Chain A
Amino acid sequence: MKQEIEKVSLEFDSEIMAVSSQAQLEELRVKYLGKSGKITAIMPMMKTVPNEQKREMGMLINELKSKIETAVASMQDEFKQRAILDEINNAERIDITLPVETGVGSLHPRTIVQKEIEDVFVSMGFVVEEGYEIETEYNNFDAVNVPANHPARDMQDTFWLNNGQVLKTHTSAAQNRILKKYKNNMPIRAIFPGRCFRNEELDAGHENTFFQLEGIIVDENVSVANLIYFMKEMLSRIFKKEVDVRLRPGFFPFTEPSFEMDVRCPYCDGKGCNVCKQGGWIELCPCGMIHPNVLKEAGIDSDKFSGCAFGLGLDRMVMMKMGFNDIRDLNSGNLKIFKQFKVER
């Protein structure tokens, strides 16, 4: 029997050398390991083997069987790998350098910059409030200390409507409503961006429809020193670098004292460039301490509480940050311009 086992082993060795396909391998596997294969055919011989040799013969057969199984398996692997290699080599080459149509559209640059600024304020604990575009005379003027017949009502060249309302001339038109809403929940920290309107002729620097972003802080003992600190922090975050600010006297009915805030040009560090028109400073932000009449009008005790307010010309920021030269482009709806913008700056 031992001879027979060796013979089968040798036969297998030579036959597997001749195998060249998956099918032949399978045929060979069945021929040796199948139900009526050669291994099975050897088994009846065990009966003729003396008992003391049975154990040895059993081991030999198992060895043979496992040798065949291993050889077949390893050759199967080889065939699989060769098939994948063939698939790879025969695959169509995809030219990924061909152009594709992109899916992302564009946000209006105002939306992008406004969100960026809002995020700064929200991180500092501000609520982002809103206002109407069509306002009452009271909210736009009287409530923010612009009394009847005050030249400011002309100065601002208001769009008056035939029902007595106005297109809001400034975001301050929302101040009274916001102060009242939060006055029992001091301190008040709010910004309110919005579309404003002025009845003026259009040119590269003037729009009759534009965006402002206004902010107010009200608490006990808010001071000019606080205002400067806060504006400096806020503008540094917006421009993503430490900026210098300075105050100059200004005059607005809704604040007293009123200031014009200049920022040292962050594009040239004050050396003079096109953005700051060589002046080194950019007039950016009218601001001031909220006029006591404005607080009183909202039912806030102006002896106990004080506040500061500031306005940011959002369109100006957009133009500076996004490189617009003509403010009229912002409302033009010209897709050739706007398709260039995505969702972040």
Chain B
Amino acid sequence: MSTASAVVTGLGVVAPNGMDTEAYWTAVLDGRSAIAPITRFDASRYPVSLAGEVRDFTAKDHIPSRLLPQTDHMTRLSLYAADKALADSQVDLGGLPEFAAGVSSASTMGGFEFGQRELENLWSKGGQFVSAYQSFAWFYAVNTGQVSIRHGLRGPGSALVTDQAGGLDAVGNARRQIRKGATLMVTGGVDGALCPLGLVGQLTSGELSTSTDPARAYLPFSADADGHVPGEGGAYLVLEEAAAARRRGARVYGELAGYAATFDPGTDGTPRTGLERAIRRALDDAQVRPEQIDVVFADAAAVPDLDRAEAEALAAVFGPRAVPVTAPKNTTGRLYAGGASLDLATALLSIRDGVIPRTPNVEACAPDHPIDLVVGEPRTADIGRALVVARGRGGFNAAAVVRRAS
């Protein structure tokens, strides 16, 4: 396997606070949150009633009729984001060899809304009323399949299911495929399960905020943190072999310079050290020292114990309060695999524009978290390298370093 560089040449964002990259980025810089009462269904009797919904998406405006009966909402959002990313990259896929381009996506929940509807059909009407498309529409890997078919991406195809960490694991895997010979990978994640079945599934984590005040419901690293809010959306990226991108004169957002994943033991009481190891290995992989990282996009669970573990891991690697840390994901809600992919896109936009978005609604970092949390206003800074951190339920940790293209 080579050590070819992989660069990001296209971004496709679909977020509750922005239906494309620039709208989302503007909202993030303005600190504009989309967290609000759930409208997709009557959530008034559920303990969690807030979410970050993508409200401006009309499926039939973006998705071919042939695909509507066979796709869950999150697949439609995936197709939309992948379309945007490919258009942004301006690549001519037809000019590539047949198996040179592939798809590596991540999904945390799969197609719950579709699945719930078909389960309701099964139990209330009978098996004859279950859609034949249920066979794949609910499935975690379906986004990779549908994106691949739509764009004729017949190279490597894979799907990762490691919760929020998956949004980085998918991109790390895409780089691996490029090093094994692929020219281009469409990669990232989109999640969305804001239906009763999906919400009930998410409730089992015990990590969702039950606040009914959108401004108070998702306060990572705050002394008032009481959990996160679910959201839907994410991002797809076009990752390209650097030399190929250069040859076609592509605009480059940055390089995926480092990536690592680790796994923590289960709930047996063993100290969780995996996050720190993942960060150190990602830095090593990028061949950078901690002091060369200009900003960290945090996992930011807003669960006090998890915030503490993350803050301590960051302080162990970088020193206490030695690097700016931010979590603009509290403007979208936690997007699971989609969240980490979106953080990668956000990090690349930070590099592009020389600005670190703030973590809105948080007035101050809790004093016992030894990190420099960016609150109040965005910070202007020359950003050459950014670290993105993600954790998934069940012990998954991932870290990625992106840097300005040389």
Asked if A and B bind, the verdict is: no
